[in-house]
C-alpha cells in the first residue's frame, strides 16, 4: 500500500483536521475543519504539500499512488453531489486552487470550471435553466485560465480577442456581450490555443484536471512566488497543497442564490445575524453592486425581501451554522454562501473585520457569554484601533474630494476655514470660527495659533516634526509633510496642482489617513462606551508596564489622567516659555551677554515657571511628575520675522540690529547636534538653578496645601557621567536649600534622559549616581541612524517603499539597532544600580509594537502623549499575554 497523499472532505466527514496546516495548507485544513464540524462545504479533496515537494524535486513526477487516490476521491465527490465529472448532461465541475501553509495571496495559480468541454457545455446550459450566456462565459473562462496557467499562452492574447469582439460590436463592457458573442470568443480561443501550442484545448476532463494540478504545483516555483516568500521570510521548502473542490453556482435558476454574512453586526457589535443576499446570482454580483443586495433578516427601514422570509428553511439552517461557527471559532465570522438548487453550501468562513466600537462590545459580550476569557478579550483588540474612539472621525459613507495626502501626524478629524498665520488663527478663532492653520512648517512661535485651530496642515516635516509632536500633545488633528502643497503666504493661498485654496475656504483634514479634503466633510464625535471601560479594567489587571504621559500643562495632565496615565513621564519645560510675555523674558535671557543679565531675566521667569509646576503638581496629585530641564538650542526661541525682531528689540531696549546680530551668533549648522540639553545647563548653570528653584518652590507650596508631590528632575542629553554629576550637584544643592528654608521635606529623584548613543554605551558610569533613566528614543533614533527627523522625509519614504527599512523608525522603534542600545543601556545601568527606574518618553511610548519591545526589555514604564495612553495600556497588557514572542535578541 502506498502512503496517503489525498485527503477527502464532504458530507460531514473529512480525512484531515484544522491543525494539519503543514500538510494540507491553510485553506485545505480549514475546509477539513469546517466539514468536520458539520458545515455544508462543497465536497472535494486536498493533495498534500509533500506531493508538491516530491513533484518539484523529481522534475514533475508524482509519488506512486497519487493518481489512484485522486481518482478514488473524485468518485466520492461525485457520489455526494449526485453528478459526474465529465458527464455531458449534468456535468460535475471542479476548481483547482493552491493553498500553502502561509497565505500567499495572488502569488500562485487557480483554474475554475474544470470539466467543461464542447459536449458538457450544452448539458450545463440545460441545468442552468437555459442561461446560455452564463455557461459560455464559464467555458471561455476555463479556457482562458487553463490556457495561461497550464499551456503558457499569455493572458493578454485572450484579452485581445475579447477587446476585438467588443470593438466589432461597438460596446464597452464585458457584461454587454451576448451568449452568441461568448460563443464566438470560445471559437477564437480554440484557434489561439492550437496556433500557439500546436495542440487543441483538451476535451477530456481528466486531462484538464491533471494539467491544472501540475501547473499549480509548478507555480510554487514561479519567480513571483519565490520573491514573495523571500520578502516575507517564508521557507521555500514548505511546498503548497492543492484543493480540488466541486463548483457550485448560485445562479442556476429559482432555488439558487448567493450571499455574505457576519455572525454579529460588524459596525456596532450587536449580537444579530447581519448580511446580504441575492437570488439567482453569483458572489461577484453582490460585490459588483449592479443589483441591490437584499437583507438576510427583515429590516424596518427599507422594504426589501429578506432571506428569512423568502427561504425560511435555508435561513434556519444558516442560523444554526452561525451559532455553530461562533461556538467553534469563538469569534465573529464573515461567511460566504451559495444556494444551488435549494441546497446550501458554505464557501468560506473567516474572522470578521469590525469597527473599534464593535470590537470592544463583541469582546466584552463574548466573555459574558462564556465563549472566551478576559485575556482573550484583551488580546482581541488592536491597540491602534482605539484611536478611532478617542478622536472625532469622518462619517464612512460620504462623498469626499481628496485634494492631497500628507502624513497622518496626529489623529482626528478637523473641519475649518483655511488661515495662513498663527495670528490669523487666533483672531478668527476668537470670532468663533473654526480654522485650519496651514503652514509650510510650524515653529514654536505658532503655538498659540495651533492651539486656536481645529487642525494643522503643513507642507513640510515628518511624523515627529514640530507640528506633529505639538499637535499630538494637544490631541489635535494634524496632517504634516503634505508635499503636494505649494503655500503662498503673500497671496494667502495654497495650490495643489491647478487647484487654488484661498484664505477662508473650507477644508477637512483626516488625521488618521492623512487626507486633505475640500469643503466641510461631516464628522462623528468620539464616545467611550461602557464596554471600553470594562475592557480597560481587565487591561490594567494584566499589564505590568506602567503608562505615563508626556504633558506640559495642567490641562493636558488632566486629560491624560482621565485616560489612565499613572504619572507624567516627560514635562517639557521649554514649551512653557512661548506664551505672551514669557517669550520676551526668555528672549531677554538668551540675548543677555553676561551672567548677570541672564540672572536678571531668569528672575522674571522664575515665578511663571513655579506657577506652571504648581498647576501640574496639583493635577497629578499623588503621581510622579518627571520634569525635563531646558533642552532645545536657544535660537529656537529667537524671533524670526522682522516685526518680531523689532518688538523684542523694543522690549529689551536695544537696537533691532543688535537683536539680529546676537540671534545670528546663535545660529548653528546642525542645531540637533549643537549647544542644547545639558550642555546649556553646564555652560549657563544659572538656567538650571532657576529651574530647580522653580520646581522645588512649587513642590513646597503645593505640599503645604495638602498635595502629594513626587518630582523627578530629568537632565537631558547626557553623553558623559561628568555632565550628569555636575548638574545633579546643582539641583540637589538648590533642592535642599529650598526645602530647608521652607522646612518641608519632599521626596524627589534626579535622573537623566538617555538619548545620545554614547550614554547607552557608558550607562554603567552614569547610573552610579542617576536615580532614573528615561530613554528619549526620538533623539536616540536620530543619532543612531544619523537621520535628522526634520530632513529625512527626502529619502525615508523611498526607503520604506523599497523595503530598505521595514517602516519609519521614528514611529515604530528600530529594535535591531536603536533597541539594542536601549537594551544595552538598561542592562548596564541596572548592573551598577539594580533599583534604577527605567522608562521611555519618546514618541515610541505610544506605539504598540514598540511598547511590546519595551516590556520585553524590562522597562518600568512608557510615557506617551495623552491620547495614546489607552493604546499604550492595551499594548502593555498584550505584551504580557505575548511574552513568548521572540525579541531581537533571540534572532
Considering only 489, 795, 858, 885, the residue that binds a second copy (CB under 8 A) is 795
Whose cell is 458573442? That residue is: 181
CB 468 within 8 A of CB 478: yes
832 binds a second copy (CB under 8 A): no
Considering only 233, 527, 803, 890, the residue that binds a second copy (CB under 8 A) is 803
CB of 837 vs a second copy, minimal distance in Å: 23
197 binds a second copy (CB under 8 A): no
x/- binding map, residues 294-333, to a second copy, per CB under 8 A? Answer: ----------------------------------------
Considering only 53, 600, 651, 672, the residue that binds a second copy (CB under 8 A) is 672
287 or 667: whose CB is closer to a second copy? 667
Can you say how many angstroms the Cα of residue 544 is from the centroid of all Cα atoms in its chain? 24
495 binds a second copy (CB under 8 A): no
Can you say how many angstroms the Cα of residue 860 is from the centroid of all Cα atoms in its chain? 26
Q: Is-catalytic flag, 531?
A: no
71 or 665: whose CB is closer to a second copy? 665
Considering only 314, 447, 463, 717, the residue that binds a second copy (CB under 8 A) is 717
Binding window for a second copy (CB under 8 A); candidates: 158-166, 265-273, 730-738, 815-823: 815-823
482, 678, 841, 864: the catalytic one is: 841
* SS3 (DSSP) at 180: helix
792 binds a second copy (CB under 8 A): yes
The strand pair at 44-47 and 257-262 is best described as unpaired
The DSSP element (H or E) to which 485 belongs, if any, is strand 485-488
Binding window for a second copy (CB under 8 A); candidates: 160-168, 192-200, 204-212, 665-673: 665-673
Give 524-582 as a DSSP string.
Answer: E-----HHHHHHHHHHHHH--SEEEEE-SSHHHHHHHHHTT--SEEEEEGGGGG-SHHH
800 binds a second copy (CB under 8 A): no
CB of 859 vs a second copy, minimal distance in Å: 19
Binding window for a second copy (CB under 8 A); candidates: 450-458, 575-583, 685-693, 722-730: 722-730
376 or 790: whose CB is closer to a second copy? 790
CB of 458 vs a second copy, minimal distance in Å: 14
Binding window for a second copy (CB under 8 A); candidates: 207-215, 271-279, 496-504, 793-801: 793-801
Give 582-596 as a DSSP string.
Answer: HHHHHHHHHH--SHH
Residue 825 to residue 777: CA distance in whole angstroms: 12
660 binds a second copy (CB under 8 A): no
* SS3 (DSSP) at 369: coil
482 or 818: whose CB is closer to a second copy? 818
CB of 688 vs a second copy, minimal distance in Å: 14
245, three cell numbers = 473542490
Q: What is the DSSP letter of 521?
A: -
CB 733 within 8 A of CB 760: no
487 binds a second copy (CB under 8 A): no
393 binds a second copy (CB under 8 A): no
CB of 669 vs a second copy, minimal distance in Å: 4
- Three-class DSSP labels, 677-738: CHHHHHHCHHHHHHHHHHHHHHHHHHHHCCCCCEEEEEECCCCCHHHHHHHHHHHHHHHHHH
413, three cell numbers = 478629524
791 binds a second copy (CB under 8 A): yes
Interactions with a second copy, residue window 757-786 (CB under 8 A): 757-758, 761-762, 779, 782-786
Give 225-281 as a DSSP string.
Answer: HHHHHHHTT--TTS-EEEEEEE---TTSSTT-EEEEEESS-TTT--SS-EEEEEET-
171 or 726: whose CB is closer to a second copy? 726
798 binds a second copy (CB under 8 A): yes
* SS3 (DSSP) at 85: strand
Burial class (CB in 10 A: 0-12, 13-18, 19+), 167: exposed
Binding window for a second copy (CB under 8 A); candidates: 542-550, 689-697, 791-799, 842-850: 791-799
Q: What is the DSSP letter of 842?
A: S
Would you tell me how many other CB atoms lie within 10 Å of the CB of residue 607? 11
The strand pair at 435-439 and 393-394 is best described as unpaired
604 binds a second copy (CB under 8 A): no
Nearest to 419 by CA among 460, 475, 457: 457
Residue 866 to residue 846: CA distance in whole angstroms: 9
CB of 473 vs a second copy, minimal distance in Å: 20
483 binds a second copy (CB under 8 A): no
300 or 670: whose CB is closer to a second copy? 670
102 or 785: whose CB is closer to a second copy? 785
Considering only 328, 646, 679, 742, the residue that binds a second copy (CB under 8 A) is 679
CB 847 within 8 A of CB 811: yes
The region that residue 481 occupies, defined by phi over 0 for left and psi between -120 and 50 for alpha, beta otherwise, is left
Binding window for a second copy (CB under 8 A); candidates: 320-328, 398-406, 504-512, 670-678: 670-678
Binding window for a second copy (CB under 8 A); candidates: 136-144, 346-354, 646-654, 755-763: 755-763
52, 138, 391, 466: the catalytic one is: 466
118 or 791: whose CB is closer to a second copy? 791
Considering only 195, 640, 804, 858, the residue that binds a second copy (CB under 8 A) is 804
CB of 806 vs a second copy, minimal distance in Å: 10
CB of 453 vs a second copy, minimal distance in Å: 23
506 binds a second copy (CB under 8 A): no
Q: What is the DSSP letter of 11?
A: T
CB of 814 vs a second copy, minimal distance in Å: 8
Q: Is-catalytic flag, 138?
A: no
x/- binding map, residues 682-701, to a second copy, per CB under 8 A? Answer: xx------------------
Residue 481 to residue 886: CA distance in whole angstroms: 35
444 binds a second copy (CB under 8 A): no
790 binds a second copy (CB under 8 A): yes
Considering only 788, 812, 827, 887, the residue that binds a second copy (CB under 8 A) is 788
Considering only 37, 53, 151, 726, the residue that binds a second copy (CB under 8 A) is 726
Nearest to 561 by CA among 515, 617, 629, 508: 617
Binding window for a second copy (CB under 8 A); candidates: 180-188, 206-214, 712-720, 864-872: 712-720
The strand pair at 515-518 and 772-775 is best described as unpaired
829 binds a second copy (CB under 8 A): no
Residue 606 to residue 615: CA distance in whole angstroms: 14
Give 729-779 as a DSSP string.
Answer: HHHHHHHHHHHHHHT-----EEEEEE-SHHHHHTHHHHTTT-SEEEE-HHH
Give 417-470 as a DSSP string.
Answer: EEESSHHHHHHHHHTT--EEEEESS--GGGHHHHHHSSEEEESS--TTSHHHHH
CB 609 within 8 A of CB 694: yes
Q: How many residues bind a second copy (CB under 8 A)?
A: 48
E strand residue ranges, 70-224: 84-85, 91-92, 94-100, 110-114
CB of 799 vs a second copy, minimal distance in Å: 7
CB of 448 vs a second copy, minimal distance in Å: 23
- Active-site amino acid positions: 466, 841
The residues that touch a second copy, with contacts defined as CB under 8 A, are 668-675, 679, 682-683, 717, 719-720, 722-723, 726, 755-758, 761-762, 779, 782-788, 790-792, 794-795, 798-799, 802-805, 814, 816-818, 820-821
Amino acid at each position: 500500500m502506498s502512503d496517503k497523499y489525498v485527503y477527502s472532505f464532504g458530507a460531514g466527514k473529512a480525512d484531515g483536521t484544522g491543525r494539519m496546516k503543514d500538510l494540507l495548507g491553510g485553506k485545505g485544513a480549514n475546509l477539513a475543519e469546517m466539514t468536520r464540524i458539520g458545515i455544508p462545504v462543497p465536497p472535494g479533496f486536498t493533495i498534500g504539500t509533500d506531493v508538491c515537494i516530491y513533484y518539484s524535486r523529481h522534475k514533475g513526477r508524482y509519488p506512486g499512488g497519487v493518481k489512484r487516490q485522486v481518482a478514488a476521491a473524485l468518485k466520492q465527490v461525485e457520489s455526494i453531489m449526485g453528478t459526474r465529472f465529465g458527464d455531458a448532461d449534468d456535468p460535475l465541475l471542479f476548481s483547482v486552487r493552491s493553498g500553502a501553509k502561509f497565505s500567499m495571496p495572488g502569488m500562485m495559480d487557480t483554474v475554475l470550471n474544470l470539466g467543461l468541454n464542447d459536449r458538457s457545455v450544452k448539458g450545463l446550459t440545460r441545468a442552468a435553466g437555459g442561461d446560455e450566456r452564463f455557461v459560455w462565459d464559464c467555458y471561455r473562462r476555463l479556457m482562458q485560465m487553463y490556457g495561461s496557467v497550464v499551456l503558457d499562452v499569455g493572458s493578454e492574447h485572450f484579452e485581445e480577442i475579447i477587446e476585438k469582439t467588443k470593438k466589432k460590436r461597438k460596446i464597452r463592457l464585458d457584461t454587454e456581450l451576448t451568449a452568441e458573442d461568448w460563443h464566438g470568443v470560445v471559437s477564437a480561443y480554440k484557434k489561439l490555443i492550437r496556433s500557439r501550442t500546436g495542440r487543441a484545448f483538451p476535451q477530456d476532463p481528466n486531462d484538464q484536471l491533471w494539467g491544472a494540478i501540475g501547473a499549480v504545483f509548478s507555480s510554487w516555483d514561479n519567480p513571483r512566488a519565490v520573491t514573495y516568500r523571500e520578502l516575507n521570510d517564508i521557507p521555500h521548502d514548505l511546498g503548497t497543497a492543492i484543493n480540488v473542490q466541486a463548483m457550485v453556482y448560485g445562479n442556476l435558476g429559482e432555488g439558487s442564490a448567493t450571499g455574505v454574512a457576519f455572525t454579529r453586526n460588524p459596525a456596532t457589535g450587536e449580537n444579530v445575524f447581519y448580511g446580504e443576499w441575492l437570488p439567482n446570482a453569483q458572489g461577484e454580483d453582490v460585490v459588483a453592486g449592479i443589483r441591490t443586495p437584499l437583507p438576510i433578516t427583515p429590516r424596518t427601514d427599507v422594504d426589501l425581501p429578506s432571506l428569512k422570509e423568502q427561504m425560511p428553511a435555508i435561513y434556519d439552517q444558516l442560523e444554526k451554522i452561525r451559532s455553530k461557527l461562533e461556538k467553534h471559532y469563538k469569534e465573529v465570522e464573515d461567511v460566504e454562501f451559495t444556494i444551488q438548487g435549494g441546497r446550501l453550501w458554505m464557501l468560506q468562513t473567516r474572522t470578521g473585520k469590525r469597527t473599534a466600537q464593535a470590537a470592544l462590545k463583541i469582546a466584552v459580550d463574548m466573555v459574558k457569554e462564556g465563549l472566551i476569557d478576559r485575556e482573550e478579550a484583551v488580546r482581541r483588540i488592536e491597540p491602534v484601533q482605539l484611536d478611532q474612539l478617542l478622536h472625532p472621525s469622518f462619517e464612512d459613507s460620504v462623498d469626499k474630494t481628496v485634494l492631497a495626502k500628507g502624513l497622518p501626524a496626529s489623529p482626528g478629524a478637523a473641519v475649518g476655514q483655511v488661515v495662513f498665520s498663527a495670528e490669523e488663527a487666533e483672531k478668527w478663532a476668537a470670532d468663533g470660527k473654526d480654522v485650519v492653520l496651514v503652514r509650510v512648517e510650524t515653529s514654536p512661535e505658532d503655538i498659540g495659533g495651533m492651539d486656536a485651530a481645529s487642525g494643522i496642515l503643513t507642507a513640510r516635516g515628518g511624523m515627529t516634526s514640530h507640528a506633529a509632536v505639538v499637535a499630538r500633545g494637544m490631541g489635535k488633528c494634524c496632517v504634516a509633510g503634505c508635499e503636494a502643497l505649494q503655500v503662498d503666504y503673500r497671496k494667502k493661498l495654497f495650490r495643489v496642482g491647478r487647484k487654488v485654496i484661498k484664505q477662508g475656504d473650507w477644508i477637512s483634514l483626516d488625521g488618521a489617513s492623512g487626507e486633505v479634503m475640500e469643503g466641510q466633510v461631516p464628522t462623528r464625535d468620539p464616545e467611550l462606551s461602557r464596554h471600553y471601560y470594562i475592557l480597560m479594567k481587565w487591561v490594567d489587571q494584566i499589564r505590568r508596564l506602567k503608562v505615563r504621559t508626556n504633558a506640559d500643562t495642567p490641562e493636558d495632565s488632566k486629560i491624560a489622567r482621565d485616560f489612565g496615565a499613572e504619572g507624567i513621564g516627560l514635562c517639557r519645560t521649554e514649551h512653557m516659555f512661548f506664551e505672551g510675555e514669557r517669550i520676551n523674558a526668555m528672549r531677554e535671557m538668551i540675548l543677555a551677554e553676561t551672567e548677570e543679565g541672564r540672572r536678571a531675566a531668569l528672575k522674571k521667569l522664575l515665578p511663571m515657571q513655579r506657577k506652571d509646576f504648581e498647576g501640574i503638581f496639583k493635577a497629578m496629585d499623588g503621581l510622579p511628575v518627571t520634569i525635563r530641564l531646558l533642552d532645545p538650542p536657544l535660537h529656537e526661541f529667537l524671533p524670526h520675522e522682522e516685526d518680531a525682531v523689532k518688538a523684542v528689540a523694543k522690549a529689551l531696549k536695544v537696537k533691532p540690529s543688535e537683536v539680529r546680530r546676537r540671534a545670528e551668533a546663535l545660529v548653528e549648522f546642525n542645531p540637533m547636534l549643537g549647544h542644547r540639553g545639558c550642555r546649556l545647563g553646564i555652560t549657563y548653570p544659572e538656567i538650571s538653578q532657576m529651574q530647580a528653584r522653580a520646581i522645588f518652590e512649587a513642590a513646597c507650596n503645593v505640599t503645604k496645601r495638602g498635595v502629594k508631590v513626587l518630582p523627578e528632575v530629568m537632565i537631558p542629553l547626557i553623553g558623559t557621567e561628568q555632565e550628569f554629576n555636575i548638574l545633579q550637584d546643582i539641583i540637589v544643592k538648590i533642592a535642599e536649600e529650598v526645602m530647608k528654608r521652607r522646612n518641608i521635606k519632599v521626596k524627589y529623584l534626579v535622573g537623566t534622559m538617555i538619548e545620545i548613543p554614547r550614554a547607552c554605551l557608558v550607562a554603567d558610569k552614569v547610573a552610579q549616581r542617576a536615580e532614573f533613566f528615561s530613554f528619549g528614543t526620538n533623539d536616540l533614533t536620530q543619532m543612531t541612524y544619523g537621520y535628522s527627523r526634520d530632513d529625512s522625509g527626502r529619502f525615508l519614504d523611498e526607503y520604506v517603499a523599497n523595503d530598505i527599512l521595514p517602516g519609519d523608525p521614528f514611529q515604530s522603534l528600530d529594535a535591531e539597532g536603536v533597541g539594542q542600545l536601549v537594551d544595552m543601556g538598561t542592562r548596564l545601568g541596572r548592573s551598577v544600580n539594580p533599583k534604577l527606574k527605567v522608562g521611555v518618553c519618546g514618541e515610541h511610548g505610544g506605539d504598540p509594537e514598540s511598547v511590546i519591545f519595551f516590556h520585553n526589555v524590562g522597562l518600568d514604564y512608557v510615557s506617551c502623549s495623552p491620547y495614546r495612553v489607552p493604546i499604550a495600556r492595551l499594548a502593555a497588557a498584550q505584551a504580557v499575554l505575548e511574552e513568548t514572542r521572540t525579541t531581537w535578541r533571540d534572532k
